[in-house]
C-alpha cells in the first residue's frame, strides 16, 4: 500500500514514548530537504521510561522489518509511514506519528 516516505525530521517514538532517530540516514534521497531512511539502518531510542516491577528495561534500538516494495535507494527499501519496526530488547513496535506528506512510494 502506498505511503509517505519517512525522513530524518519525522516524529518516531517507541510505544512507551521514547524518542527515536535514525542511526544512518540516507543522504542520496532527500524529501522536504532532509535525508530519507532505508530499512537497513537501525533507529536509536532515547528516554524510554519502560520498566518491569520497578526495574528499568528501556527500548534501546529498533530495526525496520518492512519498507517500500518498489522504491529503493542504493538497493535498499525506504521506510514508509506504515512500515513496521521491532525494538530491542522489548520487541515492541515504533510509532511514526508525523512525517512529510508530499512524496509517497509503494
CATH of residue 66: 2.60.200
Supply the pLDDT for residue 50. Answer: 97
pTM of the model: 0.93
Number of domains, the chain: 1
Neighbours of 102 (CB within 10 A): 8
Which residue is it, cell 515492541? 92
Question: Residue 64 belongs to what domain range?
Answer: 3-105
Average pLDDT, stretch 36-43?
A: 96
> CA-CA distance, 66 to 5, in Å (whole number)?
13
Per-residue pLDDT for 24 more than 90?
yes
Give 60's contacts (C-beta < 8 A, 6+ positions apart): 44, 45, 48, 87, 88, 89
Supply the pLDDT for residue 91. Answer: 97
> CA-CA distance, 26 to 20, in Å (whole number)?
16
Amino acid at each position: 500500500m502506498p505511503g509517505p516516505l519517512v525522513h530524518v525530521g519525522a516524529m518516531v517514538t517507541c510505544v512507551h514514548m521514547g524518542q527515536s532517530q535514525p542511526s544512518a540516514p540516507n543522504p542520496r534521497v532527500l524529501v522536504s530537504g532532509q535525508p530519507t531512511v532505508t530499512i537497513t539502518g537501525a533507529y536509536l531510542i532515547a528516554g524510554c521510561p519502560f520498566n518491569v516491577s520497578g526495574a528499568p528495561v528501556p527500548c534501546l534500538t529498533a530495526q525496520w522489518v518492512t519498507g517500500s516494495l518498489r522504491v529503493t535507494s542504493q538497493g535498499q527499501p525506504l521506510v514508509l509511514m506504515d512500515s513496521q519496526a521491532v525494538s530491542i530488547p522489548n520487541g515492541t513496535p515504533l510509532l511514526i506519528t508525523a512525517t512529510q506528506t508530499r512524496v509517497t512510494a509503494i
